[in-house]
Structures are given as C-alpha cells and as structure tokens.
C-alpha cells in the first residue's frame, strides 16, 4: 500500500508556518500517484499518497489536507464509497478521476458530493488548473472569517439570512430552519449566488461564473447536478423544501417566502 508522501517528515510543521497547501492523492495506480505527486510538488504543494480507500478515509478524517483527488475504480473501497463515507463527516474539496467518456461516473461523482471531475487519460496541466480553482474558492470562503474583509454593510457579521435559510461564509455553515445542512464549496457558492437576490432568475452561466473561475470549462449538466444534490440535502431536513426553483429554459431562482 502506497502511503509515501515523498516529502520531509516534518512537513506538517512546515505547512503551518509557510501556508503550503497539501493535496491527498488516492489511486491504486502507482505510476499516476508518482507522476501527479511530482507535478504537484513542483508547483509548491505538499502531497500525501494512498492506494487504499480504507486507509485514505481514516487519514483524511484524522488529518485533513486542503483538497483530495480520488480515482473511482479501486479495490476494497472504491472512490464512490470513499466519498460517501467522507461526506458523512467532512466537506473537504474533492476532485474525481473518472473513466474516459463515462457520463455515469461523472454524474454519480457529482451526486455523491464531488466538487469536480476529470476524465482519464488527463493532462497534468488541466488537473493543476482545476486544483488551483477549487483552492481559490475555498480560500475565498475562509477570507470571510477576517472581519477586515467583510463588505456587507447591511450585515456586519457577514451572515446571509433569507427566510428559513441562514448562511455563514466565515464558518462555511448553512442551516435551514435551525437544522444544519452540509454543503461543498461549490454548492455553497451556487446557493449564495441565488440567495443574495431572492426571486431573481440566475442562468446556468451566471451560476457557473459564481462558482467556477473563468479558466475552467463546466457544462450545464454539472450545474444541474449540483442543484439536484443541494435540493436533496435540504429535503433531508425539510421534506417540503421548495426554495430553489427551476425556471425551464431560463435558469434557477431562490425564494425566501
């Protein structure tokens, strides 16, 4: 089982001091682990490598990295199972590696809570772009914890209240009628874009702009999958949840009534 991190043993302390981001790679292909790890380290990231989903799950929960990249097809615990178990306890950003042109893998990964997916074979450049984009989105939420960066004059503590919905960007925390709802970074940003202006229709392109950087290609199906998964999460705490509305041919809107 590969768990070599290909970095100095004291990197944990170094990361805390230097702000180095750490990426966990989970794949049973040693060549991919080695190649991707070298590329990430060349970009200044720390890496942790696992070829076993069960061992990776414990490590990701005990000592979370900043982002994880999962292969789907692995022995013992595959990437889907790993993500399902992880999402019970953590909103850690995750990128899935899927089989080429396997739409079922892509859709299932997003439904389970992945933040993005890349089809094999993939280019290292594309993977690095996706990783940087998701880390920037995570950092944007973390920046909201700094009082000096809060710009909402109507709400000095930075929370967003819309009817039963309460969003706290500083803590990446969402509640519906007092019950917590666990959202990924991408889901949070999409919901925030809708809730900021209740009743206003946001097109898929506008939602993609809110949740993804302009150097990423995301198709309509990806946004639809995120919306579908968010609705399911809210309905788990309120079976009558209808606040996210579909306007066919136009996009989505949020109603706080």
Q: The pTM is what?
A: 0.64
Q: Domain end: 74, 108, 142, which one?
A: 142
Tokens of 101: 């042109």
Together in a domain, 76 and 197 = no
Does residue 6 lie within any of the structural domains? no
Number of domains in the chain: 2
* Range of the structural domain that residue 121 is part of: 11-142
Using pLDDT thresholds of 50, 70 and 90, give the confidence band for residue 13: very low
Total length of the chain = 257
Together in a domain, 138 and 197 = no
Residue 150 has pLDDT above 50, yes or no: no
Together in a domain, 176 and 116 = no
List the CATH number of the domain containing 228. 1.10.10.10
Segment 24-53 shows an average pLDDT of 94
Together in a domain, 212 and 183 = yes
Together in a domain, 103 and 173 = no
Using pLDDT thresholds of 50, 70 and 90, give the confidence band for residue 18: low
Using pLDDT thresholds of 50, 70 and 90, give the confidence band for residue 142: low
Together in a domain, 28 and 69 = yes
166, 159 contact by CB (below 8 A): yes
Together in a domain, 36 and 101 = yes
Q: Domain end: 125, 142, 159, which one?
A: 142
- 238 by Cβ neighbours in 10 Å (0-12 / 13-18 / 19+) ranks as middle
Positive or negative, the Cα torsion across 66, 123, 79, 91?
A: positive
């Amino acid at each position: 089982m590969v768990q070599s991190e290909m970095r100095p043993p004291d990197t944990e302390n170094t990361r805390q001091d230097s702000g180095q981001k750490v990426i966990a790679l989970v794949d049973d292909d040693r060549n991919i682990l080695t190649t991707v790890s070298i590329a990430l380290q060349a970009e200044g990231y720390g890496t942790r490598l696992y070829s076993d989903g069960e061992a990776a799950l414990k490590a990701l929960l005990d000592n979370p990295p900043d982002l994880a990249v999962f292969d789907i097809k692995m022995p013992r615990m595959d990437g889907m199972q790993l993500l399902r178990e992880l999402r019970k306890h953590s909103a850690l950003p995750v990128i899935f590696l899927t089989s080429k042109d396997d739409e079922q893998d892509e859709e299932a990964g997003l439904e389970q809570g992945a933040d993005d997916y890349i089809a094999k074979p993939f280019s290292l450049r594309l993977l690095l772009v996706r990783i940087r984009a998701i880390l920037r989105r995570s950092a944007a939420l973390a920046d909201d914890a700094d009082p000096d960066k809060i710009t909402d004059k109507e709400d000095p503590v930075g929370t967003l209240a819309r009817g039963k919905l309460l969003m706290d960007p500083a803590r990446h925390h969402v509640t519906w009628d007092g019950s917590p709802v666990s959202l990924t970074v991408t889901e949070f940003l999409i919901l925030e874009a809708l809730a900021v202006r209740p009743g206003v229709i946001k097109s898929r392109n506008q939602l993609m702009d809110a949740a993804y950087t302009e150097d990423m290609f995301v198709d309509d199906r990806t946004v639809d999958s995120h919306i579908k998964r968010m609705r399911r999460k809210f309905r788990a705490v309120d079976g009558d949840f209808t606040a996210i509305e579909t306007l066919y041919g136009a996009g989505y809107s949020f109603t706080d009534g």
